[in-house]
Chains A and B, each alone.
Chain A
Amino acid sequence: MKILVVDDSRVMRQIVIRTLRQAGHGGHDIVEAENGRQAVELVQTEAPDLVLSDWNMPEMTGIDALLTLRGAGSAVPFGFVTSEGSEEMRARAQQAGAAFLIAKPFTPEAFDEALSGVGLVAS
């Protein structure tokens, strides 16, 4: 399986990848993007099985990337990993077609639960 990790912070992308490993998902291929626009392009060229995206990013936000993808007919499973975990943000994410929202700070268990929910088994 292939996972696209989207965050403007390189440090946070590293932490997400490390947490995936700690959650037992270290065997998936990882592709990285720095913003929503790059993520939209990589979904087309890399065909990931899951997108894990920050919300607040320069160039294009995560929610705009999701709306762009859905508008273009992509059904790729999409989850947010963001510091903004309010009910309002969760509702916006769900309405736009996100499968889940993991709030920062997070645990490996939160990742495993979210990934299992979209059918990605530990590998």
Chain B
Amino acid sequence: MSILAPSALDLEALVTDMWASFVGAPELLLPAGPPADDAVLWSATVTVTGEWRGMVSVDLAEAAVLGVTRGMLGFGDDEEPDAASCTDAVGELVNVVGGNVKSLMPGPSTLSLPVVSRGAVEVPSEMEEASVLHLTWCEAPVRVRVLTTTTSS
């Protein structure tokens, strides 16, 4: 059995480009350890179904969610985005990562619309983590994961 998924390096290049293009903040995304077990994270997911099946998740602490949403909407530091804008912004992040992951994997396949939740997302039992990127941005944890099913080699 083998796992077919983008590498952590592919993910890092993609997430760095996306941050520069959409968030536009001077603060850098930096490598970090996994978030603390009791950290409350927003989770955004998309699924890819077809020739390749997988799930992509972007998980961020609330401070990162607010900062990302401000950056994407061009808000100042003193402006507080509402929950709908935060959901929209985080959903768009995972949509971009998911679309790019889909493009790197064998097709044809279909990308779902994003689902965003405040709290941990349920991972389907047949999926396992294939690539993970642990980062920190403005001292808040950011995690990007690709999960997929095992395939016969």
Does A122 belong to the interface (CB within 8 Å)?
no
* B103 lies within 8 A of A11 (CB): no
* A84 lies within 8 A of B91 (CB): no
- In whole angstroms, how far apart are the Cα atoms of A107 and B89 in the complex? 18
Secondary structure type dominating chain A contacts: loop
Residues of A94-108 contacting chain B, CB below 8 A:
103-107
**Contacts A11-B88, A56-B113; A83 near B73 (Cβ below 8 A):** no
- From A104, which residue of chain B is reached at the shortest CB distance? B96
Does B123 belong to the interface (CB within 8 Å)?
no
Residues of B92-116 contacting chain A, CB below 8 A:
92, 95-100, 102-103, 107-108, 111, 113
B122 to chain A, nearest CB (A): 22
- In whole angstroms, how far apart are the Cα atoms of A83 and B21 in the complex? 13
- In whole angstroms, how far apart are the Cα atoms of A32 and B85 in the complex? 17
* B73 lies within 8 A of A11 (CB): yes
Partner of B111, one of A10, A11, A56: A56
Number of B residues with CB within 8 Å of any CB on chain A: 27
Specify which chain B residues have a CB less than 8 angstroms from the CB of A15 in the assembled complex: 22, 72
- In whole angstroms, how far apart are the Cα atoms of A50 and B91 in the complex? 26
- Complex interface: stretch among A40-48, A68-76, A85-93: A85-93
A sample of 29 cross-chain residue pairs with beta-carbon separation below 8 angstroms, ordered by A number, consists of A8-B113, A9-B91, A9-B92, A10-B85, A10-B88, A11-B69, A11-B73, A14-B73, A14-B74, A15-B22, A15-B72, A56-B111, A57-B113, A82-B99, A83-B95, A83-B100, A84-B99, A84-B102, A84-B103, A85-B99, A85-B100, A85-B103, A89-B103, A103-B100, A103-B103, A104-B18, A105-B20, A105-B22, A107-B21
A residues sitting closer than 8 Å to B (CB atoms) are 8-12, 14-15, 18, 56-58, 82-86, 88-89, 103-107
Across the A-B interface, give the 9 residue pairs with the lowest CB-CB distance, nearest first: A83-B99, A105-B21, A86-B103, A84-B99, A105-B18, A83-B96, A11-B88, A11-B89, A104-B96
B residues sitting closer than 8 Å to A (CB atoms) are 14, 17-18, 20-22, 69, 72-74, 85, 88-89, 91-92, 95-100, 102-103, 107-108, 111, 113
